[in-house]
Structure 1
Amino acid sequence: MKALMKFVLAMAMVLMMSGGAMADDFAAQGIVLLPGLTAGYTGPSSSWYNIISLSNITDKEVTCKITVYDHDGNDVTNHGQVYTGSYGITSRKLLSSGVGDFAIPPRSTRLFLFGIVNTGLKTIDGHGVLKWKSTDTDLRRALIGSIRQIRIFGAGSGSNTNVLINNGQPF
Protein backbone atom coordinates (compact mmCIF):
# COMPACT_ATOMS: atom_id res chain seq x y z
CA MET A 1 0.00 0.00 0.00
CA LYS A 2 2.86 2.39 0.85
CA ALA A 3 4.54 1.65 -2.49
CA LEU A 4 1.29 2.43 -4.33
CA MET A 5 0.89 5.69 -2.39
CA LYS A 6 4.49 6.71 -3.22
CA PHE A 7 3.87 5.95 -6.89
CA VAL A 8 0.65 8.01 -6.96
CA LEU A 9 2.36 10.95 -5.21
CA ALA A 10 5.34 10.75 -7.57
CA MET A 11 3.04 10.77 -10.60
CA ALA A 12 1.10 13.72 -9.19
CA MET A 13 4.35 15.67 -8.74
CA VAL A 14 5.47 14.89 -12.30
CA LEU A 15 2.14 16.02 -13.71
CA MET A 16 2.13 19.23 -11.65
CA MET A 17 5.69 20.10 -12.66
CA SER A 18 5.19 19.34 -16.36
CA GLY A 19 2.08 21.53 -16.43
CA GLY A 20 4.26 24.57 -15.79
CA ALA A 21 6.51 23.67 -18.71
CA MET A 22 3.53 23.64 -21.05
CA ALA A 23 1.88 26.75 -19.63
CA ASP A 24 1.28 29.76 -21.83
CA ASP A 25 3.56 32.60 -20.74
CA PHE A 26 1.26 35.28 -22.21
CA ALA A 27 -0.20 36.91 -19.07
CA ALA A 28 -3.60 37.74 -20.58
CA GLN A 29 -5.88 40.36 -19.05
CA GLY A 30 -8.66 39.39 -21.42
CA ILE A 31 -9.60 36.44 -23.59
CA VAL A 32 -12.34 35.80 -26.13
CA LEU A 33 -13.17 32.91 -28.48
CA LEU A 34 -13.38 33.43 -32.25
CA PRO A 35 -15.80 30.77 -33.56
CA GLY A 36 -16.43 29.70 -37.12
CA LEU A 37 -13.13 30.65 -38.74
CA THR A 38 -12.89 29.15 -42.20
CA ALA A 39 -10.56 29.69 -45.11
CA GLY A 40 -10.37 28.06 -48.50
CA TYR A 41 -8.75 28.29 -51.88
CA THR A 42 -9.74 26.31 -54.95
CA GLY A 43 -8.22 28.65 -57.53
CA PRO A 44 -7.90 32.33 -58.40
CA SER A 45 -11.64 32.64 -58.95
CA SER A 46 -12.80 30.85 -55.81
CA SER A 47 -11.50 31.62 -52.34
CA TRP A 48 -12.69 32.65 -48.90
CA TYR A 49 -10.98 34.11 -45.87
CA ASN A 50 -11.58 35.92 -42.58
CA ILE A 51 -10.55 39.41 -41.51
CA ILE A 52 -10.58 39.92 -37.76
CA SER A 53 -10.77 43.66 -37.14
CA LEU A 54 -9.66 44.76 -33.66
CA SER A 55 -9.79 48.31 -32.31
CA ASN A 56 -8.01 49.43 -29.16
CA ILE A 57 -10.43 51.75 -27.33
CA THR A 58 -7.96 52.81 -24.64
CA ASP A 59 -5.17 55.36 -24.41
CA LYS A 60 -2.61 52.58 -23.74
CA GLU A 61 -0.94 50.17 -26.17
CA VAL A 62 -2.47 46.68 -26.14
CA THR A 63 -0.62 43.50 -27.13
CA CYS A 64 -2.72 40.78 -28.75
CA LYS A 65 -2.14 37.10 -29.36
CA ILE A 66 -4.42 35.25 -31.77
CA THR A 67 -4.12 31.48 -32.07
CA VAL A 68 -6.14 29.73 -34.78
CA TYR A 69 -6.93 26.01 -34.51
CA ASP A 70 -8.15 23.71 -37.28
CA HIS A 71 -10.83 21.01 -36.96
CA ASP A 72 -8.33 18.65 -35.27
CA GLY A 73 -7.02 21.23 -32.79
CA ASN A 74 -3.77 21.89 -34.66
CA ASP A 75 -2.33 25.41 -34.49
CA VAL A 76 -2.67 26.94 -37.99
CA THR A 77 -1.92 30.55 -37.00
CA ASN A 78 0.91 30.51 -39.56
CA HIS A 79 -1.75 31.24 -42.23
CA GLY A 80 -2.43 34.65 -40.66
CA GLN A 81 -1.24 38.12 -41.57
CA VAL A 82 -1.48 41.37 -39.59
CA TYR A 83 -2.27 44.62 -41.42
CA THR A 84 -2.86 48.26 -40.72
CA GLY A 85 -4.92 50.51 -42.97
CA SER A 86 -8.31 50.11 -44.59
CA TYR A 87 -9.77 47.06 -46.34
CA GLY A 88 -8.59 48.21 -49.78
CA ILE A 89 -5.63 46.08 -50.80
CA THR A 90 -3.64 49.12 -52.00
CA SER A 91 -4.08 51.05 -48.76
CA ARG A 92 -3.23 48.20 -46.38
CA LYS A 93 0.26 47.79 -44.99
CA LEU A 94 1.49 44.31 -44.02
CA LEU A 95 2.94 44.39 -40.49
CA SER A 96 3.66 40.68 -39.95
CA SER A 97 2.98 37.30 -41.48
CA GLY A 98 2.73 33.81 -39.99
CA VAL A 99 2.45 34.91 -36.36
CA GLY A 100 -0.51 35.90 -34.21
CA ASP A 101 1.29 38.29 -31.82
CA PHE A 102 0.98 42.01 -32.50
CA ALA A 103 0.55 45.37 -30.77
CA ILE A 104 -2.29 47.83 -31.27
CA PRO A 105 -1.41 51.45 -30.45
CA PRO A 106 -3.90 53.58 -28.47
CA ARG A 107 -7.17 54.32 -30.32
CA SER A 108 -5.97 52.32 -33.34
CA THR A 109 -7.17 49.34 -35.37
CA ARG A 110 -5.34 46.27 -36.69
CA LEU A 111 -6.57 43.60 -39.08
CA PHE A 112 -5.71 39.90 -38.75
CA LEU A 113 -6.34 38.20 -42.08
CA PHE A 114 -6.69 34.41 -41.93
CA GLY A 115 -6.61 32.73 -45.33
CA ILE A 116 -4.84 30.21 -47.55
CA VAL A 117 -3.62 30.74 -51.09
CA ASN A 118 -1.51 28.32 -53.14
CA THR A 119 -0.58 26.19 -50.14
CA GLY A 120 -1.92 22.87 -51.39
CA LEU A 121 -4.68 23.03 -48.79
CA LYS A 122 -8.27 23.31 -49.97
CA THR A 123 -9.95 24.45 -46.74
CA ILE A 124 -9.32 25.04 -43.05
CA ASP A 125 -12.26 25.09 -40.66
CA GLY A 126 -11.85 25.83 -36.99
CA HIS A 127 -11.82 28.50 -34.32
CA GLY A 128 -9.48 31.00 -32.73
CA VAL A 129 -8.55 32.28 -29.30
CA LEU A 130 -7.73 35.96 -28.82
CA LYS A 131 -5.82 37.05 -25.73
CA TRP A 132 -4.78 40.60 -24.90
CA LYS A 133 -2.66 42.37 -22.30
CA SER A 134 -1.40 45.86 -21.51
CA THR A 135 1.24 47.49 -19.36
CA ASP A 136 -1.73 49.03 -17.50
CA THR A 137 -2.70 46.07 -15.33
CA ASP A 138 -5.91 47.81 -14.23
CA LEU A 139 -7.46 47.60 -17.70
CA ARG A 140 -10.37 45.15 -17.90
CA ARG A 141 -11.86 46.02 -21.30
CA ALA A 142 -9.60 47.31 -24.07
CA LEU A 143 -10.86 46.02 -27.43
CA ILE A 144 -13.87 45.91 -29.72
CA GLY A 145 -13.91 43.87 -32.88
CA SER A 146 -15.59 41.90 -35.61
CA ILE A 147 -14.98 38.90 -37.85
CA ARG A 148 -15.63 39.47 -41.53
CA GLN A 149 -15.81 36.39 -43.74
CA ILE A 150 -15.23 37.21 -47.40
CA ARG A 151 -16.02 34.85 -50.27
CA ILE A 152 -14.86 35.44 -53.86
CA PHE A 153 -16.80 33.80 -56.73
CA GLY A 154 -15.06 34.56 -60.00
CA ALA A 155 -14.12 37.90 -61.48
CA GLY A 156 -15.51 40.75 -59.41
CA SER A 157 -18.26 38.92 -57.58
CA GLY A 158 -18.44 37.75 -54.00
CA SER A 159 -20.14 38.06 -50.66
CA ASN A 160 -19.24 38.81 -47.08
CA THR A 161 -20.62 38.29 -43.63
CA ASN A 162 -19.73 40.38 -40.60
CA VAL A 163 -20.10 39.13 -37.00
CA LEU A 164 -19.41 41.29 -33.98
CA ILE A 165 -17.09 39.80 -31.38
CA ASN A 166 -18.73 39.76 -27.93
CA ASN A 167 -21.91 41.21 -29.46
CA GLY A 168 -20.03 44.46 -30.13
CA GLN A 169 -19.34 45.03 -26.43
CA PRO A 170 -15.80 45.88 -25.25
CA PHE A 171 -13.79 42.96 -23.96
Structure 2
Amino acid sequence: MEESSIFDRMINHLRSSCKYYTGYPKDLGPSRVINFVSEREFVQLLHEGRPVVVAFTIRSNQTKHLDKILEEAAVEFHPNVKFLRVECPKYPGFCMTRQQKEYPFVEIFHSPAQAANQGRVADPNVTKYSVKVLPFNYDLSAYGFREFFKRHGMLSSDPKQ
Protein backbone atom coordinates (compact mmCIF):
# COMPACT_ATOMS: atom_id res chain seq x y z
CA MET A 1 0.00 0.00 0.00
CA GLU A 2 1.30 3.41 -0.97
CA GLU A 3 1.96 5.94 1.76
CA SER A 4 0.12 9.26 1.41
CA SER A 5 2.10 12.42 0.80
CA ILE A 6 2.48 15.21 3.34
CA PHE A 7 0.14 17.37 1.27
CA ASP A 8 -2.60 14.69 1.30
CA ARG A 9 -2.28 14.24 5.06
CA MET A 10 -2.44 18.01 5.57
CA ILE A 11 -5.58 18.34 3.41
CA ASN A 12 -7.23 15.39 5.18
CA HIS A 13 -6.42 16.98 8.54
CA LEU A 14 -7.92 20.31 7.40
CA ARG A 15 -11.08 18.61 6.17
CA SER A 16 -11.57 16.76 9.44
CA SER A 17 -10.67 19.53 11.90
CA CYS A 18 -11.34 22.92 10.33
CA LYS A 19 -14.95 24.07 10.49
CA TYR A 20 -14.45 26.69 7.79
CA TYR A 21 -12.59 24.65 5.18
CA THR A 22 -13.99 25.77 1.84
CA GLY A 23 -12.65 22.97 -0.35
CA TYR A 24 -14.76 20.46 -2.16
CA PRO A 25 -16.36 18.04 -1.90
CA LYS A 26 -18.20 18.95 1.26
CA ASP A 27 -20.28 16.39 3.06
CA LEU A 28 -23.17 18.44 4.41
CA GLY A 29 -25.45 15.50 5.03
CA PRO A 30 -29.16 15.73 4.32
CA SER A 31 -30.47 19.10 3.18
CA ARG A 32 -31.65 21.37 5.97
CA VAL A 33 -33.16 23.90 3.56
CA ILE A 34 -36.94 23.67 3.61
CA ASN A 35 -38.79 23.99 0.30
CA PHE A 36 -41.81 26.27 0.45
CA VAL A 37 -45.06 24.35 0.06
CA SER A 38 -47.75 26.59 1.53
CA GLU A 39 -48.23 29.76 3.49
CA ARG A 40 -49.66 27.68 6.32
CA GLU A 41 -46.34 25.81 6.76
CA PHE A 42 -44.50 29.13 6.55
CA VAL A 43 -46.63 30.55 9.36
CA GLN A 44 -45.96 27.42 11.43
CA LEU A 45 -42.21 28.01 10.99
CA LEU A 46 -42.65 31.58 12.20
CA HIS A 47 -44.57 30.36 15.27
CA GLU A 48 -41.50 28.38 16.36
CA GLY A 49 -39.96 31.73 17.32
CA ARG A 50 -36.71 31.31 15.42
CA PRO A 51 -35.46 33.53 12.59
CA VAL A 52 -36.47 32.24 9.16
CA VAL A 53 -34.22 33.05 6.20
CA VAL A 54 -36.32 33.04 3.04
CA ALA A 55 -34.70 32.90 -0.39
CA PHE A 56 -37.04 33.93 -3.18
CA THR A 57 -35.64 32.28 -6.30
CA ILE A 58 -36.17 31.38 -9.91
CA ARG A 59 -34.20 28.65 -11.69
CA SER A 60 -30.96 30.10 -13.09
CA ASN A 61 -27.19 29.69 -12.78
CA GLN A 62 -27.08 32.35 -10.08
CA THR A 63 -29.70 30.43 -8.11
CA LYS A 64 -27.59 27.27 -8.20
CA HIS A 65 -24.81 29.18 -6.45
CA LEU A 66 -27.29 30.58 -3.92
CA ASP A 67 -28.59 27.04 -3.26
CA LYS A 68 -25.08 25.89 -2.28
CA ILE A 69 -24.67 28.86 0.05
CA LEU A 70 -28.05 28.22 1.66
CA GLU A 71 -27.19 24.54 2.20
CA GLU A 72 -23.92 25.43 3.94
CA ALA A 73 -25.49 28.12 6.11
CA ALA A 74 -28.46 25.90 7.00
CA VAL A 75 -26.10 23.21 8.27
CA GLU A 76 -24.08 25.72 10.29
CA PHE A 77 -27.04 27.45 11.95
CA HIS A 78 -29.32 24.41 12.41
CA PRO A 79 -31.57 24.27 14.54
CA ASN A 80 -31.50 27.93 15.68
CA VAL A 81 -32.27 29.44 12.27
CA LYS A 82 -34.55 27.93 9.62
CA PHE A 83 -33.78 28.34 5.92
CA LEU A 84 -36.60 28.30 3.39
CA ARG A 85 -36.41 28.31 -0.41
CA VAL A 86 -39.38 29.63 -2.42
CA GLU A 87 -39.44 28.93 -6.16
CA CYS A 88 -41.36 31.97 -7.33
CA PRO A 89 -42.66 30.52 -10.63
CA LYS A 90 -44.47 27.85 -8.57
CA TYR A 91 -45.83 30.29 -5.95
CA PRO A 92 -46.19 33.68 -7.69
CA GLY A 93 -48.76 35.01 -5.22
CA PHE A 94 -46.43 34.64 -2.25
CA CYS A 95 -43.50 36.18 -4.12
CA MET A 96 -45.49 39.10 -5.52
CA THR A 97 -46.46 40.19 -2.01
CA ARG A 98 -42.77 40.94 -1.36
CA GLN A 99 -42.79 43.51 -4.23
CA GLN A 100 -39.28 42.83 -5.46
CA LYS A 101 -38.38 43.01 -9.14
CA GLU A 102 -35.01 41.24 -9.16
CA TYR A 103 -34.53 37.58 -8.31
CA PRO A 104 -33.05 35.93 -6.35
CA PHE A 105 -33.34 37.92 -3.16
CA VAL A 106 -33.21 37.00 0.51
CA GLU A 107 -35.29 38.30 3.43
CA ILE A 108 -35.16 37.35 7.07
CA PHE A 109 -38.38 37.03 9.07
CA HIS A 110 -37.85 37.39 12.80
CA SER A 111 -39.54 37.71 16.19
CA PRO A 112 -43.13 36.66 15.68
CA ALA A 113 -45.11 38.16 18.51
CA GLN A 114 -48.81 38.40 18.94
CA ALA A 115 -49.93 41.84 17.78
CA ALA A 116 -50.97 44.09 20.65
CA ASN A 117 -53.89 45.60 18.75
CA GLN A 118 -56.00 42.94 17.12
CA GLY A 119 -58.26 45.55 15.50
CA ARG A 120 -61.42 44.44 13.75
CA VAL A 121 -61.19 40.75 12.97
CA ALA A 122 -64.04 39.02 11.13
CA ASP A 123 -63.25 35.64 12.69
CA PRO A 124 -62.54 35.53 16.46
CA ASN A 125 -60.40 32.41 15.89
CA VAL A 126 -57.90 34.42 13.84
CA THR A 127 -54.87 35.69 15.73
CA LYS A 128 -52.71 38.42 14.21
CA TYR A 129 -48.94 38.31 14.62
CA SER A 130 -46.32 40.96 14.16
CA VAL A 131 -43.24 39.80 12.27
CA LYS A 132 -40.13 41.84 11.60
CA VAL A 133 -38.95 41.46 7.98
CA LEU A 134 -35.37 42.46 7.26
CA PRO A 135 -33.91 42.56 3.75
CA PHE A 136 -30.61 40.68 3.62
CA ASN A 137 -27.99 42.93 2.05
CA TYR A 138 -24.81 41.35 3.40
CA ASP A 139 -22.35 38.98 1.74
CA LEU A 140 -24.15 35.82 0.54
CA SER A 141 -22.19 33.34 2.63
CA ALA A 142 -22.38 31.64 6.01
CA TYR A 143 -20.09 34.39 7.30
CA GLY A 144 -22.45 37.08 5.93
CA PHE A 145 -25.41 35.45 7.67
CA ARG A 146 -23.46 35.23 10.94
CA GLU A 147 -22.56 38.93 10.80
CA PHE A 148 -26.15 39.86 9.95
CA PHE A 149 -27.49 37.87 12.91
CA LYS A 150 -24.93 39.50 15.23
CA ARG A 151 -25.77 42.99 14.04
CA HIS A 152 -29.49 42.51 14.55
CA GLY A 153 -29.15 40.65 17.87
CA MET A 154 -30.63 37.37 16.67
CA LEU A 155 -29.67 34.16 18.46
CA SER A 156 -28.12 32.08 15.69
CA SER A 157 -26.03 29.58 17.59
CA ASP A 158 -26.06 27.59 20.79
CA PRO A 159 -25.21 29.75 23.81
CA LYS A 160 -23.24 26.77 25.16
CA GLN A 161 -20.69 26.99 22.33
**Common fold by TM > 0.5:** no
TM-score under structure 1 length normalisation: 0.31
User: Greater helix share, 1 or 2?
Assistant: 2
Higher RCO (CA < 8 A, seq sep 6+)? 1
User: Greater strand share, 1 or 2?
Assistant: 1
TM-score under structure 2 length normalisation: 0.33
